């Protein structure tokens, strides 16, 4: 199977208004196609492969993923519901453009939920998991040195998700991933202007807390990683 291109055709949607089908009316084959499109687009938005405010068309999505309008429409409907895409009154679909206030609000949600996930994961952490996270952090460093914002975001989120999966708290992790999803395009734009050549410094503190089994230190490291990282990015945005 050919892998879909990374950038769905962008542009103002003309001639393909977003009219959603009624729930329960999608044939099984179409459902499989829309799930494939949904998952691919979701990953692209979350990892910053699309820039803020980038417009998408149903025809463009269908052409890239080789599907009809119906699965493209259903995938977009789900992503709009998650806040990954924005739908205007005219039917125009685009990735969200977040204000500084909105970024700080989403970062505050992360700062509340992610330390809790880490705390729940801690009793199930083992040496192999820590080694896996160290390897991901090394890949994150390589992405930073290459100035590759998409790889940087992807490995950064992979570092966090690898730990949070051990929490066995799927509802809480789903909430966090929804926040990551909304932040993806804006983080891409900010990271693209960031002259960073190292992995996030608080990742080392997170790893140290895991190795020591120190829950307070782990919570502090996660909270600091989220809040100071966002402040640094917003500062670069203001001065860049």
Q: What is the model's pLDDT at position 32?
A: 86
Q: What is the CATH number of domain 1-97?
A: 1.10.10.10
The angle that helices 202-212 and 127-145 make with each other, rounded to 10 degrees, is 170
CATH class assigned to 100-239: mainly alpha
pLDDT of 9 reads: 42
10-32 confidence digits (pLDDT tens): 433 444 444 334 444 555 555 78
3-state secondary structure of 169: coil
- Of the pLDDT bands very low, low, confident and very high (cuts 50, 70, 90), residue 192 is confident
Residue reference for tokens 């040195």: 145
Give the tens place of pLDDT for each residue, 22-76.
444 555 555 788 899 999 999 999 999 999 999 999 899 999 999 998 999 999 9
Q: Where does CATH 1.10.10.10 sit in the chain?
A: 1-97
pLDDT tens per residue across span 218-233? 999 999 998 887 776 6
Dump the DSSP string for 16-64. ----PPPTT---HHHHHHHHHHHHHHHHHHHTT-S-TT-EE-HHHHHHH
Name the helix (H) or strand (E) containing 130: helix 127-145
* pLDDT, mean over the chain: 85
Query: Which residues belong to CATH 1.20.120.530 in the chain?
Result: 100-239
**pLDDT tens readout for residues 150-169:** 999 999 999 999 999 999 99
Going by C-beta distance under 8 Å and a sequence separation of 6 or more, which residues neighbour residue 98?
Answer: 52, 106, 182, 183, 186
The answer to whether the beta carbons of residues 156 and 218 sit under 8 Å apart is: no
């Amino acid at each position: 199977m050919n892998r879909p291109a990374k950038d769905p055709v962008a542009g103002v949607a003309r001639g393909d208004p977003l009219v959603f089908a009624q729930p329960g009316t999608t044939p099984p084959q179409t459902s499989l196609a829309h799930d494939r499109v949904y998952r691919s687009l979701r990953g692209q938005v979350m990892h910053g492969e699309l820039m803020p405010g980038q417009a998408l068309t149903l025809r463009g999505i269908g052409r890239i993923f080789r599907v009809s309008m119906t699965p493209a429409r259903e995938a977009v409907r789900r992503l709009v519901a998650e806040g990954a895409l924005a739908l205007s009154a005219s039917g125009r679909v685009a990735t969200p453009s977040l204000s500084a206030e909105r970024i700080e609000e989403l970062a505050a949600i992360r700062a509340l939920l992610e330390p809790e996930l880490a705390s729940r994961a801690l009793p199930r952490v083992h040496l192999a998991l820590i080694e896996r996270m160290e390897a991901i952090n090394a890949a994150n460093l390589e992405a930073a040195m290459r100035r590759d914002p998409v790889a940087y975001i992807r490995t950064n989120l992979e570092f966090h998700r690898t730990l949070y999966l051990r929490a066995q708290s799927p509802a809480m992790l789903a909430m966090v991933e929804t926040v990551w999803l909304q932040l993806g395009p804006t983080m891409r734009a900010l990271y693209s202007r960031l002259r960073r050549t190292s992995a996030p410094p608080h990742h080392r503190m997170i790893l140290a807390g895991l190795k020591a089994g120190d829950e307070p230190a782990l919570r502090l490291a996660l909270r600091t990683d989220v809040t100071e990282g966002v402040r640094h990015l917003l500062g670069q945005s203001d001065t860049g």
